[in-house]
Structure 1
Amino acid sequence: MNMSSHRGIRTAILCLLYFAQGFPYGFVLYTLLTVFLDQGYTRDQAAIISGFSVLPWTFKFIWAPLIDSVRFPSMGLRRPWIVFAQLGMAVTLIANARAGDLGSLAPGETIEVSSWLASLFAWVPGSTDATAGNEISTLVFVAGIFFLHNAFASLQDVATDALAVDILEESERGRVNGFMWGSKLFGITAGTTGGAYLIKHFNLNFTLQVMAIGILVITACVLAVREREGEKRLPWSKGAAGATRSKALRSPIVVLSELFRALSKWTTGAAVVLSIITSISAGIFIPLASDTFINVFQWDSLDYSSALGTWGIGGELCGALIGGYLCDRLGRRKIAAIGGLGMGIAMISFSFLVSKAAGDPTWILPVFKGFVAFQTVALFSLYMKISWTTAAATQFTLYMAVSNFGTFIGNEIARIEDMERAELFMISGVSALVPLAMIFLLRPDSIVELRNREESSS
């Protein structure tokens, strides 16, 4: 079985890999974040968890030239990197299981680690909770290990996106992007609601081990298929490189030179700025919503996780599938703009509700997250369309990396305790509306024409 010639297989593998990204992500940013808030940590302290989890995704710009430069073509251009990253994700989850049960998550609790790990976590930005010697706070330990976990997850995401750019046909990109995003949402649901259930009935240690097993099972599925016909399934199997232009090593200078050439056009360069700005709103929402539901509307942390895993993820799933379907028919820019408009209106409306601390806040979860997904799948498809030159995978990954940097910026804005929650939600809404005009200034068809001319001339 190989992915390049079987549409169903490549779609299934891409969806499984996005699912693998989703359930640790949902568990950390939604379930674990609310658990720490429920244990008595402040919004500023708990946001260390979400900040440390998001920050490694900005490393994608480092990973992209690496996987474009160092290849193992006999096993596929992207598959070896995916397997390596998946194994790293599993190992870090197993390491994090040392945090134990919920009792050890209380403020002031510490955990003993090796001296080098204590030194590493002591200087991680935003951490003021490291203690003397080889003991660090449980908060910093969990945040630090999930920082490492998400470094591997971001590498897996880069390799998966590069695989999608390589093997997906133009006519299926919008639809498959919707499926991939939907799969990640199913993963987030599993991590959010499933993680909350496992913590409640077992403990944190058991929950993390279950997630590690899930990642290893998906890794086995990746090992069971090839990228292209004739390639090796395993290092000791028979086979040879199945891709054209599949040198094992490429100079990073060549990759970066091609990237700079790709970004020299208005559309491709402006898309970098667009990717940052469109992510700030959701970055503010993640920690701020958890804090608001628990401390303003007096929700229990596990009840919030359950609502997020049902209403919130349900809205995201609908937004992803509908957005993916429509962007191939109505146009990527129109769908992205509609999503941003909906995000802005939802956040501004919710800010008035928060200022009065009245009414049922549940509606914001499916509405806002649905519009986020609606916009995201359209932007992903747009970024794929305008990725050109031989560094197309690196260019696409750059857009993903800077979008995560935008999420990190939003997370840091949410940590500002001198501002009222209603004001922060208002900022989130305005930041969603700001980039709408820029979306229509992009000219993606001109990039496609340029790419086609280059391919014809070569």
Structure 2
Amino acid sequence: MADNANIALKAGTSTLPAYTENARLRFATGTLLYLAQGLAQGLFFVAIPSWLAVNGQPVGAIGSFIAAISLPWSLKFFIGAVVDRYAFLPMGRRRAWLVGAQACLIISLIAFAIRSPLPSELATIIIFGAVLSAMTAVQDVALDAMIIDLTPKNELGKINAFMLGGKSVGMAGGAALVGYFLEYQSFPIAMIATACLFSIPAFAAILIRERPGEKLFPWNEGQTSVQSRDAKPDAWWPVLRETFRVLLRRDPLLIIGLCVFYGMHQGIIEATLPAFAAQEMQWGETRYSSLAGIGYLISSAGLLLVGGWVTDKIGPATLGYWTSGIVAGVIAIFIFVALASTTDLFFSSWYLFYTLIVSGFYLCMVTLGMRVCEEHVAATSYALMMGSMALGMMLGAGSAGLLDQIGGYAALLTAAIVTILSSAAMGLGLSPATGGPVRAPGLVSEPPPR
């Protein structure tokens, strides 16, 4: 593998198969690139909120930061439209976007390290966080579009489990390691360490072509594939027309509603739990970030071992109903038990179980979204669905301060129960082709999703 990589970098003529040629390579590439994405998200969704909480920032301030970094994700529709419309086709429809976004994210992390803001400089932290989040959102849109373009439909449940497993491992590393550097080293070291860690799995985008015969780099030999040329729209109107044709159907609209409510749930939880750990239990950022890292690793193991199989076997909609009900139950237990009196052991055990179950719900959601997309506008349509989740996160995190004033942690967690159940309720109207078990290709003729 190392010899192949060296040949690829020097000559641009890799002996590695292209993404479309090998199922194992598809799983490995998706996992590695989602691992890189998880590292960045562990930084700004876990490590920095915990760092702010430990340094005295209130729930409202943490919620403002989370709302700000969610903003680029709510604009994924526009990012997706650009990714669908423009491409350097000799490198494939999506890969140039992937490589460019990753380079910009590394540069942004280095700039963040040089500026090194204090916890009290919330405006500066929000600006840098939003920039980092925007670069991660571009990578996410391009990668998801590439997965939808090039992965057989019957592999989507399994590859999503692998990718989310990789993302969970990345978030574990980003949360735990960056939390450690923030507490025991310095802010610049934490950012440089994140940039170095991110660059390792991101290297997969440089070495793997989308289709055979394409260029690794702009200056190498290679040519545009017929499939990429035929799929790329030549104007804005076809992108928008086809996107709304795909989305203005019953199943996609229900999935958009599902994503909004799930995003609201996550926005409330991401603002609440770091503050509870720091201000009620007197935990430092390393302790909470380490717990989050363990939770992501457990979630990763669950997704990789059984997540994809269960999703394909019983269908993402059914699994979503079960996981949302369990999530609501464990949050209710927290309200009645932990808010009155809790211990480190109870909080840690509760958090790990919650993280495992909610990751199953997230797997259901992304699988449903990919099932209803079509290749030629995959970036735009899927980005709009997942961008609606970010919009929900903004609404949920933005409401955290008001909910805290109304009823403290009890009000916050009650709102988290309502939103996760509302999200699952959106799946009740999905067609069997979208929400049901996967069918072996060629065995059963299914109607298209509504």
Q: What is the distance in 2 between the residues matched to 1:209 and 1:92?
A: 10
Determine if the alignment matches structure 1 residue 195 to structure 2 residue 178.
yes
Question: 1:387 is matched with which residue?
Answer: 373
Any conservation in 1 of the 2:80–2:379 contact (CA below 8 Å)? yes
Partner in structure 1 of residue 54 of structure 2: 38
Deviations 1:410-456 (A, max 9, x none): 11122223121111101101211123333121115279945599xxx
Q: How does 1:308-319 map to 2 (within 5 A)?
A: 308-310=292-294, 312-319=295-302
1:234 aligns to 2:207 (yes or no): no
Give the whole-Å Cα distance in 2 for the aligned partners of 1:389 and 1:256: 14
Conserved 8 A contact 1:319-1:372: no
What TM-score, normalized by structure 2, do the two folds share?
0.88
Q: Distance in 2 between the 1:62 and 1:444 partners?
A: 30
* Aligned position for 2:386: 400
**Residue 133 (structure 2) aligns with:** 150
2:434 and 2:353 map into 1 onto residues whose CA distance is: 34
Contact 1:324 1:378 in 2 (8 A): no
Decide whether the 8 Å contact of 1:82 with 1:156 is kept in 2.
yes
Amino acid in the other structure paired with 1:418: Q
Contact kept in structure 2, 1:22 and 1:188, CA below 8 Å: yes
With over 3 angstroms needed to count, the CA separation of the structure-2 counterparts of 1:288 and 1:20, relative to structure 1, is same
Shift of 1:367: 1.8
Q: Cα offset for 1:295? A: 1.1
| 1:56 is aligned to 2:72 | yes
* Residue 349 (structure 1) shift: 1.7
Query: For each residue in 1:240-295, what CA deviation from the matched residue of structure 2 results, as whole angstroms up to 9, or x when unmatched?
Result: 11241526662121111011111232122222112111222122111100111111
- The AA in structure 2 aligned to 1:427 is A
1:134 corresponds to: none
Task: Report the residue type matching 2:318 in the other structure.
Answer: K
Question: What is the correspondence of 1:363-378 to structure 2 with a 5 Å cutoff?
Answer: 363-378=349-364
Q: Provide structure 1 residue ranges, at least 5 long, that are not aligned to the other structure.
A: 108-137, 454-458
CA 1:452/1:430 → structure 2, altered by over 3 Å: closer, same or farther?
Answer: closer
8 A contact 1:71–1:249 mirrored in 2: no
SS at match of 1:158: helix
Q: Hey, what's the Cα distance between the residues in 2 that align with 1:267 and 1:42?
A: 39
Q: 1:185 to 1:452 in 2, by over 3 A?
A: closer
Q: Secondary structure at the match of 1:240?
A: coil
TM-score (norm 1): 0.86
Q: 1:163 pairs with 124, 146, 151, which one?
A: 146
Select the residue among 441, 444, 454 that pairs with 2:429.
Answer: 441
What fraction of aligned residue pairs are identical, expressed as a percent?
25
The answer to whether residue 99 in structure 2 is matched with residue 83 in structure 1 is: yes
Determine the C-alpha separation between the residues in 1 that align with 2:76 and 2:348. 34
Secondary structure of 1:217 counterpart = helix
Counterpart residue type for residue 383 of structure 1: G
Task: Give, in whole Å, the separation in 2 of the partners of 1:105 and 1:232.
Answer: 44
Q: Is the alpha carbon distance of 1:239 and 1:79 closer, same or farther for their aligned partners in structure 2, counting shifts above 3 Å?
A: same
**CA-atom RMSD in angstroms:** 2.1
Residue in structure 1 matched with residue 263 of structure 2 by the alignment: 279
User: Would you say 1:172 and 2:160 are equivalent positions?
Assistant: no
The letter for the 1-side match of 2:397 is N
In 2, the alpha carbon distance for the partners of 1:362 and 1:232 equals 48
Q: What is the alpha-carbon distance in structure 2 between the residues aligned to residue 253 and residue 372 of structure 1?
A: 38
Per the alignment, in what secondary structure is the counterpart of residue 356 of structure 1? coil
- Residue 391 of structure 1: SS of its match in structure 2? helix
Residues 149 and 378 of structure 2 are in contact (CA less than 8 Å); yes or no, is this contact kept in structure 1? no
Q: Is the 8 A contact 2:76 2:387 kept in 1?
A: yes
SS in 2 for 1:77: coil
Match for 1:169: what amino acid? Answer: P
1:345 to 329, 343, 365: 329
1:170-198 CA distance string (max 9 Å, x none): 22211110010010010001111111222
User: Could you tell me which residue of structure 2 aligns to residue 362 of structure 1?
Assistant: 348
1:114: which partner in 2? none
For 1:202, the aligned partner's letter is: Q
Paired residues for 1:248-287 under 5 Å = 250-287=234-271
2:126 matched to 1:105?
no
Unmatched runs of 5 consecutive residues or more in structure 2: 1-15, 436-444
SS of the aligned residue for 1:379 comes to: helix
C-alpha distance after superposition, 1:109-128 (max 9, x if no partner): xxxxxxxxxxxxxxxxxxxx
Q: Distance in 1 between matches of 2:202 and 2:267?
A: 29
Contact 1:267 1:444 in 2 (8 A): no
1:14 to 1:249, Cα distance in 2 relative to 1, 3 A = same
Aligned counterparts of 1:217 and 1:106: Cα–Cα separation in 2:
29
Q: Is the 8 A contact 2:49 2:62 kept in 1?
A: yes
Question: Which secondary structure does the structure 2 equivalent of 1:244 belong to?
Answer: helix
Q: Spell out, residue by residue over 1:363-418, the C-alpha distance to the aligned partner (whole angstroms, 9 max, x if none).
A: 22112221211011122111111123732332222111101211222111222231
Q: State the Cα deviation string for residues 40-91 of structure 1 (Å, max 9, x = none).
A: 2222123332222222111211111111111111111110000111111111
**What are the Cα deviations for residues 185-227 of structure 1, in whole angstroms up to 9, with x where unaligned?**
1000111111122233421101211221233334433112211
Distance 1:145 1:212 in 2: 14
Equivalent in the alignment of 1:329: 313
For residue 438 of structure 1, what is the amino acid of its counterpart?
M
Q: Which has the higher contact order (CA 8 A, sep 6+)?
A: 2
2: CA distance between counterparts of 1:398 and 1:298?
39
In structure 2, the residue corresponding to 1:350 is in which secondary structure?
helix
Equivalent pairs, count = 419
Deviations 1:9-53 (A, max 9, x none): 222221111111111211222222111111122221233322222
Distance 2:146 2:103 in 1: 18
**Given that residues 368 and 434 in structure 2 are in contact (C-alpha distance below 8 angstroms), is that contact kept between their aligned partners in structure 1?**
no
Corresponding residue for 1:4?
A: 20
Tell me the equivalent position of 2:283: 299
